[in-house]
């Protein structure tokens, strides 16, 4: 087992540090940033022309990756919703083969997700698996598959597979929208240009992160909140999930707009609040963060490095390199993975195998 960890104290830390390489594998041969084209091996041009809406079904971290994709598709004009697979029985039924239902599952074995796909198949929808695991159950249940190619992930809490899911889904969303709209997203060239630099940006985060010092300063606290708006909300939810999974401390993520509708009552000097800033619309999140700070909460901001001066009020700053706003969340989550890892490590938790949790949940 020690050999498998390649010198890292935990598989999770190794997997966090593998992300520049695992992401390169995800993108490899699929993106031509010079010509602004995307080729996903099993999907010919026009493969998605008939799609009239998209439903994602997934659980846990995969559900947070699906939220990014649903937001991206919606922005490109394609109706899309991300459902927690376990709640899919309550969702509007997909009705025709033009309804595309996408299962997002690292393992390909999550019971809730498999059941949601069976339901979609029974309703006559077209089903597609986005998974890390060749030959998994989801690839047999779905009509088609796209592999995220992140390599094996041993740590129970997902890290590198999340990054690869978000990017594979971004590419898939671009292809779906291109076919349906019969035109390429005008923002694609800029996004693919930044995507080519993303592995290097991740390396920079890993090399320069202040996560360990921040974790050392915070780890005695009993409750942690994470907030963000728009796609930064998915990053906040994932940040909170990671921390609770491996540290056993209470952590909650929510939309920054929700703060005043309840969570603010819980804020004290004992509750650090993480704010994720990745888009232009995040000024309101800044005012939410000032509000919790006025109530004594330590504020930790994850944001593009260029904003550090504007965000000087924050008690701690986790910088991310400049990138396209639709993929910046990936960098924010890597900073938050590192903070969670170091808090859990300070607390002496069994990071790779948290109590009561399983890598894949095969019973509902
Ligand atoms: C479990 C794991 C999580 C994972 C979730 C969904 O809860 O502990 O890390 O995100 O299952 O797993 P899947 O394999 O479907 O992505």
143-167 mean pLDDT: 96
Answer yes or no: is pLDDT of 316 > 90.
yes
Q: What is the pLDDT of residue 93?
A: 87
Q: What percent of the chain has pLDDT over 90?
A: 90
Residue 222: predicted pLDDT: 80
Residue nearest to atom 11 of ligand 1 (CA): 360
Q: Take residue 135 and report the two structure tokens written for it.
A: 């030959």
What is the residue with the minimal CA distance to atom 8 of ligand 1?
359
What was the pLDDT predicted at 16?
Answer: 98
Which residues are tagged catalytic? 359
For position 326, what pLDDT does the model report?
A: 86
Residue 302's pLDDT is 97
Q: Determine which of 8-12, 64-68, 354-358 has the lowest per-residue pLDDT on average.
A: 354-358
Whether 280 shows a pLDDT value over 90: the answer reads: no
CA distances from 137 to 141, 146, 148, 231 (A): 6, 14, 16, 30
Q: Nearest C-alpha to atom 5 of ligand 1 is from which residue?
A: 60
Mutate to test the pocket of ligand 1, among 109, 116, 158 (most ligand atoms within 8 A of CB): 158
Ligand 1 center from residue 336 Cα (angstroms)? 18
Ligand 1 atom with least separation from CA of 158: 9
Looking at residue 94, its pLDDT comes to 84
Backbone angles phi, psi at 111, to 5 degrees: -60, -45
Taking the C-alpha atoms of residue 314 and residue 302, their distance in angstroms, rounded to an integer, is: 10
Residues with CB under 6 A from ligand 1: 59-62, 105-107, 110, 113, 156-158, 357, 359-361
The number of the ligand 1 atom at minimal distance from the alpha carbon of 107 is 14
In this model, does residue 116 exceed pLDDT 90? yes
Which atom of ligand 1 has the smallest separation from the CA of 358?
Answer: 8
pLDDT of residue 107: 97
Please name the residue whose Cα sits nearest to atom 2 of ligand 1.
359
pLDDT digits (tens, 9 = 90+) for 3-15: 689 899 999 999 9
Choose which residue among 136, 154, 359, 362 to substitute to test ligand 1 binding: the one with the highest number of ligand atoms within 8 A of its C-beta: 359
**In the 3-class helix/strand/coil scheme, how is the chain assigned residue by residue?**
CCCCCCCCCCHHHHHHHCHHHHHHHHHCCCEECCCCEECECCECCCCCCCCCEEEEEECHHHHHHHHHHHHHHHHCCCCEEEEEHHHHHHCCCCCCCCEEEEEEECCCCCHHHHHHHHHHHHCCCEEEEEECCCCCHHHHHCCEEEECCCCCCCCCCCCHHHHHHHHHHHHHHHHHHHHHHCCCCCCHHHHHHHHHHHHHHHHHHHHHCCHHHHHHHHCCCCEEEEEECCHHHHHHHHHHHHHHHHHCCEEEEEEHHHHHHCHHHHCCCCCCEEEECCCHHHHHHHHHHHHHHHCCCCEEEEEEHHHCCCCCCCCEEEEECCCCCCCHHHHHHHHHHHHHHHHHHHCCCCCCCCCCCCCCCCCC
From the alpha carbon of 59, which atom of ligand 1 is closest? 6
Residue nearest to atom 7 of ligand 1 (CA): 60
Q: Separation of 200 CA from ligand 1 center, angstroms?
A: 27
User: Which tokens is 46 given?
Assistant: 């026009």
Across 284-309, average pLDDT: 95
Say how many C-beta atoms besides its own lie within 10 A of residue 268's C-beta.
13
Distance 199 CA to ligand 1 centre (A): 24
| 191-217: pLDDT as tens digits | 999 999 999 999 999 999 999 999 999
Q: What is the mean pLDDT of residues 100-112?
A: 98
What is the average pLDDT value for the chain, to the nearest integer?
A: 95
Q: What are the beta bridge partners of residue 77?
A: none
Question: Is pLDDT of 228 > 80?
Answer: yes
Q: What are phi and psi of 113, to 5 degrees?
A: -70, -40
- Whole-number Å distance, alpha carbon 162 to ligand 1 midpoint, is 10
Question: How many Å lie between the centroid of ligand 1 and the Cα of residue 364?
Answer: 12
- Residue 364: per-residue pLDDT: 85
pTM above 0.90, yes or no: yes
Question: What is the Å distance from ligand 1's center to 361 Cα?
Answer: 7
């Amino acid at each position: 087992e020690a050999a498998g960890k390649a010198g890292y104290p935990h598989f999770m830390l190794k997997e966090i540090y593998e992300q520049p390489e695992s992401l390169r594998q995800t993108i490899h041969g699929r993106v031509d940033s010079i010509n602004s084209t995307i080729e996903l091996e099993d999907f010919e041009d026009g493969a998605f022309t008939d799609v009239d809406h998209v439903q994602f079904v997934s659980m846990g971290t995969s559900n947070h990756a699906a939220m990014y994709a649903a937001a991206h598709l919606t922005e490109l004009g394609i109706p899309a919703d991300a459902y927690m697979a376990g709640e899919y029985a309550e969702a509007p039924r997909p009705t025709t083969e033009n309804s595309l239902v996408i299962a997002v599952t690292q393992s390909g074995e999550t019971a809730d997700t498999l059941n949601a796909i069976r339901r979609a198949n029974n309703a006559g929808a077209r089903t597609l698996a986005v998974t890390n695991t060749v030959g998994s159950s989801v690839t047999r249940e779905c009509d088609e598959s796209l592999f995220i190619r992140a390599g094996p992930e041993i740590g129970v809490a997902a890290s590198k597979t999340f990054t690869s899911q978000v990017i594979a889904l971004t590419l898939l969303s671009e292809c779906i929208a291109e076919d349906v709209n019969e035109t390429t997203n005008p923002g694609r060239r800029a996004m693919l240009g930044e995507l080519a630099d993303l592995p290097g940006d991740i390396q920079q985060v890993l090399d320069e992160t202040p996560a360990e010092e921040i974790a050392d300063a915070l780890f005695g606290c009993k409750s942690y909140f994470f907030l963000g708006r728009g796609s930064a909300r998915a990053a906040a939810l994932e940040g909170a999930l990671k921390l609770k999974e491996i540290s056993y401390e209470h952590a909650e993520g929510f939309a920054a707009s929700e703060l005043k509708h309840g969570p603010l009552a819980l804020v004290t000097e004992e509750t650090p609040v993480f704010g994720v800033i990745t888009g232009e619309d995040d000024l309101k999140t800044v005012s939410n963060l000032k509000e919790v700070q006025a109530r004594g909460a330590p504020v930790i901001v994850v944001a593009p490095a260029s904003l550090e001066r504007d965000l000087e009020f924050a008690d701690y700053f986790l910088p991310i390199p400049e990138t396209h706003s639709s993929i910046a969340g990936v960098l924010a989550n890597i900073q938050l993975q590192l903070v969670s890892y170091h808090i859990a490590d300070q607390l002496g938790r069994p990071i790779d195998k948290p109590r009561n949790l399983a890598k894949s949940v095969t019973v509902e």
